[in-house]
């Protein structure tokens, strides 16, 4: 037996990426073997190398794709208006987007140290572009006088850490719905920025 009946690269390729994403998120990059991934795909390990150069670039590509999708999704929303409204929008967008892709988010935050220096630089640049989006909102709000933030760079990182933290505990079907969680976090984010909370 060599080629499997019905096998096609447009199917196996995506399946490889899905399996790798799920397993890397669950067990960690270093703890997952190519043979495990192959078993999940339903293929022998050697066949994976038709779809990725090696294990390292499989990880790097998953991370880069996630961050590029994040930036593209944010660019597509392109909120206008005053800084307060844009910060509200950013917080909701961040929670929603990250909740929908928990595995990719987890990998993008946990597996940075398993990247080669070149791949790390590529990924880190993407992450920084996203942070800058938030920092720009904070700077604008500071200029408009509607925020009171001691340091926009620190505040940007603090708020992103807070928002991303949702992923560590949020589970669909839990005590709170996602829109309710968004409300609560938007309230805290706006207050932390000195823009008052959500109207109650």
Partner DNA sequence: GGTTGAACTGAACGGGCGTTCAGTGACAAT
Partner DNA sequence: ATTGTCACTGAACGCCCGTTCAGTTCAACC
Interface residues with DNA (CB under 7 A) are 1-9, 11-12, 32-36, 38, 43-47, 49-50, 54-56
162 binds a copy of itself (CB under 8 A): yes
Q: How far is the CB of 46 from DNA (least distance, A)?
A: 3
* Cβ-based nearer residue to a copy of itself, 30 or 100: 30
158 binds a copy of itself (CB under 8 A): yes
* Cβ-based nearer residue to a copy of itself, 4 or 35: 35
Q: How far is the CB of 110 from DNA (least distance, A)?
A: 17
Q: How far is the CB of 160 from a copy of itself (least distance, A)?
A: 8
143 binds a copy of itself (CB under 8 A): no
* Contact characters 105-124, a copy of itself, x per CB under 8 A: -----x--xx----------
* Cβ-based nearer residue to a copy of itself, 41 or 163: 163
151 binds a copy of itself (CB under 8 A): yes
Please report the DSSP string for the chain in residue order: --SPTT--HHHHHHHHHHHHHHHHHHH-GGG--HHHHHHHHTS-GGGGGGT-S-HHHHHHHHHHHHHHHHHHHHHHH---S-HHHHHHHHHHHHHHHHHHTHHHHHHHHH-GGGS-HHHHHHHHHHHHHHHHHHHHHHHHHHHHTS---S-HHHHHHHHHHHHHTHHHH--TTSSS-HHHHHHHHHHHHHHHTTS-----
């Amino acid at each position: 037996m060599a080629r499997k009946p019905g096998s096609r690269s447009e199917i196996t390729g995506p399946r490889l990426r899905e399996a790798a994403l799920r397993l890397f998120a669950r067990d960690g990059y270093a703890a997952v073997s190519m043979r495990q991934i192959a078993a999940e795909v339903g293929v022998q390990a050697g066949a994976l190398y038709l779809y990725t150069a090696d294990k390292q670039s499989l990880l790097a590509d998953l991370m880069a794709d996630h961050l590029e999708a994040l930036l593209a999704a944010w660019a597509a929303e392109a909120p206008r208006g005053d800084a307060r409204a844009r910060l509200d929008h950013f917080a909701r967008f961040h929670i929603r987007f990250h909740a929908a892709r928990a595995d990719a988010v987890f990998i993008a935050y946990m597996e940075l140290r398993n990247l080669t220096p070149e791949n790390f630089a590529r990924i880190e640049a993407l992450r920084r572009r996203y942070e800058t989006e938030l920092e720009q909102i904070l700077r604008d709000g500071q200029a408009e006088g509607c925020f009171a933030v001691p340091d926009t760079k620190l505040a940007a990182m603090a708020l992103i850490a807070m928002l991303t933290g949702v992923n560590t505990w949020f589970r669909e079907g839990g005590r709170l719905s996602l829109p309710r969680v968004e409300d609560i976090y938007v309230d805290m984010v706006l207050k932390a920025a000195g823009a008052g909370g959500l109207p109650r």
